[in-house]
Amino acid sequence: MDTNKQIKETVKQHYGEIARSGASCCSTGETSCCGPDCGDITNLAHGYDLKELAALPEGADLGLGCGNPLALVEIQKGWKVLDLGSGAGIDVFMAAKRVGETGHVTGLDMTDEMLDKARANAETGGFKNVSFVKGEIETMPFEDNTFDLVISNCVINLVPDKAQAYREIRRVLKPGGRFAIADMAIRGDMPTDVRKSAEAWAGCVAGALELEGYLKTIREVGFSNVDTKFVNEYDFARSDEFALLSVGLVGTKI
C-alpha cells in the first residue's frame, strides 16, 4: 500500500470508530482529534454559538473541528453549499438554516459510519434541504460550477495532496464562488517523527502545512482574495522551533 492510501485508510478507520462509538472527540480524555483536550477545543477552536449548537440533533457535534467556518463568511438564502468532510453533520445543519428552503447543503465524507450518522441526524432534526454523499475531496463526485460556497472544518489537513484538494474546490465552485475553511497549519519545522506518523495524520497534526506555504499553494491553484480570518496557536504544541495553529481561510474563485 502506498503512503497516501495508507494515510487515507488510517484516517477512515479512525473517524469510523469515532462515529461507531458515538463519543465526542473530547469525551475519552485523550487526544483523538484536532486539539489537546475538550477545554482547548471549546475555548480556542470552535467559535460556535452555544444556543445554535443546542438546537442541533444530539450527536451532530463530535468535537472534531478547529474553528467555525460559518463565521468566516455571510451565507445567503438560496445558496448551494458544500461541506467537505461533513462528519456527523454539525456544519451542514447550521448552514442549512442559513440557506433556507430555497437553498441546499451537501455534505461529502468518505466514511460510511459518519454518513450513516449524519443521515440519521438529518432525519431526527427534520432537515429537508440537506444531503450526504460519499466521496473523496481529491476526486469529488460533483459537476463543475455547482456550488456558491465550499466550507470545511479541520479536514483538508488530512488530505495528502492539498493542491489537488483546492483544484477540486475551485472546479466545483461557481464563478465568483467562495471557500471558507477552518484548518490546521504550522509555523516552523515539525518534528520528523510526527510528520512520518500515519496516526498523527488522523489527529490532524502531521498533515498540516507551514502557513505561508499553505497560502501560496491555494493562490497557485487560481484563487483570489486568499486571506486568513483568524490564526490561533495551541499552547500544548508551542516551542521556539514549532507552533501548531488553527486558522480560518477564505478565498474566491476567479
pLDDT at 4: 65
pLDDT band for 56, please (50, 70, 90 cuts).
Answer: confident
Chain centre distance of CA 245: 14
On the question of pLDDT at 14 being above 70, the answer is no
pLDDT at 52: 81
The CA distance from 148 to 53, in Å, is 24
The CA distance from 147 to 162, in Å, is 20
Domain boundaries 3-253, CATH class = alpha beta
Place of cell 495524520: 201
Instruction: Read off the pLDDT of residues 155-176 as tens digits, 9 standing for 90 and up.
Output: 998 888 999 999 999 999 999 9
According to DSSP, residue 34 is labeled S
Output the CA torsion 139→145→148→153 (10° steps). Answer: 10
pTM score: 0.82
Instruction: Read off the pLDDT of residues 88-102 as tens digits, 9 standing for 90 and up.
Output: 899 999 999 999 999
On the question of pLDDT at 40 being above 70, the answer is no
pLDDT at 119: 96
Instruction: Read off the pLDDT of residues 110-148 as tens digits, 9 standing for 90 and up.
Output: 989 889 999 999 999 999 999 999 999 999 999 999 999
pLDDT at 207: 76
On the question of pLDDT at 214 being above 50, the answer is yes
pLDDT at 57: 78
Spans of all domains in the chain: 3-253
Q: Indicate the burial class of 73 (C-beta count within 10 angstroms; 0-12, 13-18, 19 or more).
A: middle
